[in-house]
Amino acid sequence: MKVLNGKISGGYEFKQFKGQPSTELVVLKLPEHLFVPLGRVDLGVKPLVRTGDNVKAGQIIWQDDMSISSPVHSPADGIVESVQKMDSPAGQMSVIKIASRS
**pLDDT per residue over 1-47, tens digit each?**
556 666 666 767 777 777 777 889 999 898 999 999 887 666 667 88
pLDDT at position 50: 93
pLDDT at position 69: 76
Secondary-structure breakdown of the chain: helix, strand, coil percentages, each rounded to the nearest 5: 5, 40, 55
- Identify the three-state secondary structure at position 94: strand
**pLDDT per residue over 50-67, tens digit each?**
999 999 999 999 888 777
**Cβ atoms of residues 70 and 83 within 8 Å:** no
CA gap 48, 76 in Å, rounded: 16
**Cβ atoms of residues 78 and 99 within 8 Å:** yes
Q: Which amino acid is at 71?
A: P
**What is the pTM for the complete model shown?**
0.69
**Cβ atoms of residues 30 and 76 within 8 Å:** yes
> Quick one: which of 81, 78, 85, 77 has its CA closest to 37?
85
